[in-house]
Amino acid sequence: MSDEVKQKVIDSFSKNTEAYVTSSTHKNQSDLDLITEWLQPERSWTVLDIATGGGHVAKELSRSAGSVIATDLTKDMLENTARHLHGIHNIQFVIADAEQLPFLDGTFDAVTCRIAAHHFPNPDLFIHEVQRVLKPSGRFLMIDNIAPEQEELDSFYNTFEKMRDPSHARALNISEWKQLMEPFNIEKELPRKKRLPFQDWLKRKVDDPDTKNRVQQYFLEASEEAKRYFSIEQGDQRILSFAIDEWMVMAKK
């Protein structure tokens, strides 16, 4: 099952590699500034960015860290990102599975992973690998979309994500992540809301008009509680935007 999910990730992200470089959500500079502010990377550091996508975090970290290894499961995505960042000489690109990292124990001063972990079929293996490759007292910084704690809202959220993107595994809630992160000491966390323009969010993954209509209809038919929680904004039977939960966390090994 895991291999099947991972193949869907590769297929999905190979289709539209450029969209992740240009995505307003992914290149949000205030988000990237906060990563640097929290981690405070040093020139002596070697940092690993897991599931780098469009390479925004790797690029940000390269300004202050000595060396950055940017990994992704999808070769086409990584090649496209490497072309965009070809002038930055302290970033190396490695095809790697987040749940089976090809690095020795205790290699990295810090590990980052941003807006990606909801694609990992085995988040427990991902966390185990992060801990393994970190040096003693190394830091792990993750940002990801988070499911609500309430079961019905969790189900609504993960359902529409899967409808839009078959490579979506599951967004966990904060309680579930904290359980997985028990081997770490959580130093800092920031839960927040993230507003997404519906059409931009949809077209990044969906070409088929029937699927687009089905996802939009699912939003239009949402319960009043779901519409309130996700701040669904609609006009003239079209969804304009909505908001989801996001969690930023920094933990120490």
Note the pLDDT of residue 152.
98
Number of domains comprising the chain: 1
**Tokens read off for 247:** 């969690």
**11 in a domain, yes or no?**
yes
The CA distance from 87 to 91, in Å, is: 9
The CA distance from 153 to 174, in Å, is: 14
Quote the DSSP letter at residue 117: G
**Tokens read off for 169:** 């595994």
**221 in a domain, yes or no?**
no
**217 in a domain, yes or no?**
no
- Indicate if the alpha-carbon torsion angle 119, 57, 201, 179 is positive or negative: positive
Note the pLDDT of residue 26.
53
The CA distance from 58 to 48, in Å, is: 8
Note the pLDDT of residue 30.
83
**Tokens read off for 73:** 């499961």
C-alpha pair distances (Å), 221 with each of 84, 158, 198, 239: 41, 16, 15, 11
**238 in a domain, yes or no?**
no
**92 in a domain, yes or no?**
yes
Q: Which residues pair with 94 in a beta bridge?
A: 71
User: Nearest 5°: phi and psi at 165?
Assistant: -145, 100
Residue with structure tokens 């000595």?
66
Note the pLDDT of residue 17.
46
**53 in a domain, yes or no?**
yes
pLDDT in tens, the chain (253 residues): 567 656 655 555 545 545 554 455 555 678 899 999 999 999 999 999 999 999 999 999 999 999 999 999 989 889 999 999 999 999 999 999 999 999 999 999 999 999 999 999 999 999 999 999 999 999 999 999 999 999 999 999 999 999 999 989 999 999 999 999 999 999 999 999 999 999 999 998 888 999 999 999 999 999 999 999 999 999 988 999 999 999 999 999 9
**10 in a domain, yes or no?**
yes
Note the pLDDT of residue 28.
67
Domain that holds residue 185: 2-150+165-196+246-252
Dihedral of the CA atoms 163, 165, 169, 171 (nearest 10)? -80
**233 in a domain, yes or no?**
no
Note the pLDDT of residue 192.
96
Can you give the CATH number for the domain in which 62 is found? Answer: 3.40.50.150
